Amino acid sequence: MLGKLLQGRYQVVQVLSARGTCQTYIAQDTNCPGHPTCFVKHLLPTSNSPSSVQSLRWLFSREAEALKKLGNHDQVPELLAAFEENQEFYLVQEFIQGHPLSAELLPDHRWSESQVVQLLQEVLGILEFVHTHGLLYRDLKPSNLIRRQQDERLVLINFGSVKQASTQVVKAQGNTSTTIAITIPATIAIGTPGYMPMEQGRGRPRFNINNKVSALPNGLNVRFYRKITSTHLSICSKKTGDNDCLYLRKVS
């Protein structure tokens, strides 16, 4: 793949990942002065069957549409191109120079409360922007947040798991409540175990946009709690009537 020219324009100069059905590269845009660097996500079907190709085409279109909607936010990579070649799919995005947030979350390094609050405010600001565009981001974890080198700001990446939602605005006694709800019954749990909320693990994610903290995955909340207190916790659940309640248990 190295050196290949995609769409007669984007030349692959580095292979970042070549595993499975999603491969990623760094490329140069040979049609622009200075050949600027960009990021390429290459999606391959699991088989040559029409149903496999069509399913991937649908997922590809969904991610491309999400990136188009969100492209005017400074902390979401801009979509430069989206195209299909020989039943394989390519997303070309702005290249973000930096490192993943996971590189900062060292096991024995304790954060101050102000550091965690500042980080949460920044992450929640991006999520609020995503949610107000009628989209649910379902794979929030440290490796999907890049600390941009030029300004130290976080950038949210990897929108392959995003889901379109409907937005309902309810007004009562002068107060406005906006709820994002799934438009069709969900049957597949998408996300990363240990980070996604329980309802998302069951394939039915639902967020209230006014309660920003609820938009954070359980695992991310616990990770930040550990950073402040140095206390190791695990997320547990128990049945209470028809509902499942989450609680935290100290790990000895």
**Would you please indicate which residues are annotated as catalytic (active-site) residues?**
139
CA-closest candidate to residue 90, choices 190, 189, 1:
1
For residue 247, the cross-strand partners are: 236
- List C-alpha distances in Å: 232 to 113, 161, 183, 237: 16, 29, 37, 17
C-alpha torsion angle, residues 237, 196, 204, 159 (rounded to 10)? 180
Token digits of residue 16: 């970042």
| Chain centroid to CA 225 | 21
Residue where the block lists tokens 């590269």 = 25
Whole-angstrom distance, CA of residue 70 vs CA of residue 93: 12
Backbone φ and ψ for 69, nearest 5 degrees, come out as -65, -40
Token digits of residue 157: 């990446």
Helices and strands (H, E) in the chain, number of each type:
4, 15
Determine the 3-state secondary structure of 204 from DSSP.
Answer: coil
